[in-house]
Amino acid sequence: MSVVGNADDSVVVTVRGNLDIDSGTTLITTLNQVLDRPSPRIVVDLSGVEFCDSTGLSALIVGHKRASAGGGWLRLAAPGEFLGRLLDTVGLTPRLAIYPTVGDALVGRDAD
């Protein structure tokens, strides 16, 4: 997992491998650190996620709610086929901001 801050104060959190009970706590800790900023603007790059369980989904939902409550946002970028289907199946697609690329998520624009 990596965290990169941008000049506009947005942050990209990149997640790789499995997002499960073992790595979910790392994501929660990482998100908690960046969510403490005023008006947090966070993109979670999911392009390298191969598997996600309820712990990972919960971290994303809680992060989204905290960011919104703090006057900011949390956007998901580039979920793979498995994760995209999972987000859709559990009904999160209409509730979370999901973008095809990190760049699109940073500017809040869907791909043409």
Q: By C-alpha distance, which of 86, 83, 36 is closest to 63?
A: 36
Query: In CATH, what class is 2-107?
Result: alpha beta
Residue 112 pLDDT grade (very low, low, confident, very high; cuts 50, 70, 90): very low
Domain range summary for the chain, segments of one domain joined by +: 2-107
Contacts 24+ apart (CB under 8 A), 91-96: 92/57, 92/60, 92/61, 95/64, 96/60, 96/61, 96/64
Quick: pLDDT tens for 47-88: 999 999 999 999 999 999 999 999 999 999 999 999 999 999
- The predicted pLDDT at position 1 comes to 87
Per-residue pLDDT for 110 more than 80? no
Please state, for a pLDDT cut of 70, what percent of the chain lies above it: 97
Q: Mean pLDDT for the chain?
A: 93
